[in-house]
Each structure stands twice: as C-alpha cells, then as structure tokens.
C-alpha cells in the first residue's frame, strides 16, 4: 500500500493524542488492530480491508495513511475529526 496522506493536528506539539488514537482503534467498528504492529490499524469497509493507519515514525505526533486515496479518503477524514485533526493528502503536503 502506498502512503496517501497523514492525519495531523493543526499544531504539533501537541499533535494527535496517542492515547486518544489507541482508544479510537479499540472502539471504532471500521478499524481492526494489527496484532504484529503496535499503533497500527487496518481500515475496513463492508468487511474488506481498504487501507492502513500507522503512528508516524517521522517524529511528528500524526498518523500515516496508506491505501488507495479514493478508497480511504472519506474514512480518514472522519477519523481525523474524531481525533480533533484533519486528513491531509500527500498531494497537499508536497504542494506546500
């Protein structure tokens, strides 16, 4: 899966709250915990995996979003709102 964007807070620090992220993964019906990867989750729609979210290794308190943009964008935007952040596509990031 390709990186298609990030879920980021308006300011970092403090960035996305990792405790809130872990709680969302545990409670959200469209996120499945990845047993082999702490702080990662599979995005699921209608029982099928469509993408992946991972706590960023960049040092920023944000989530990397992987998948096909057309498939993950809507769910990523919803999850971003739940985390008091916003979904920013890779295209938006590189055009700044």
With 70 as the cut, is the pLDDT of residue 96 above it? no
- Asked whether the CA dihedral 31, 65, 77, 44 is positive or negative, the reply is negative
Q: What is the pTM of this model?
A: 0.92
Residues 41, 30: Cα–Cα separation, whole Å: 9
Range of the domain at 66: 3-94
Confidence of residue 13 (pLDDT cuts 50, 70, 90): confident
CATH code (residue 90) = 3.30.310
Summarize pLDDT for 25-56 with one digit per residue, the tens.
Answer: 999 999 998 777 778 999 999 999 999 999 99
Structural domains counted in the chain: 1
Quote the pLDDT of residue 53: 96
Summarize pLDDT for 50-86 with one digit per residue, the tens.
Answer: 999 999 988 889 999 999 999 999 999 999 999 999 9
User: Is pLDDT larger for residue 14 or for residue 81?
Assistant: 81
Cα–Cα nearest to 72, from 19, 1, 10, 24: 1
């Amino acid at each position: 899966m390709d990186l298609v964007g990030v879920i980021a807070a308006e300011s970092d620090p403090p960035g996305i709250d990792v405790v809130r992220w872990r709680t969302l993964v545990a409670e959200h019906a469209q996120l499945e915990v990845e047993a082999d990867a702490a702080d990662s989750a599979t995005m699921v729609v209608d029982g099928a995996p469509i993408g992946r979210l991972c706590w960023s290794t960049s040092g920023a308190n944000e989530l990397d979003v992987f998948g096909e943009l057309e498939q993950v964008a809507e769910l990523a935007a919803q999850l971003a709102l739940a985390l008091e952040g916003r979904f920013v596509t890779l295209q938006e990031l590189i055009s700044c």
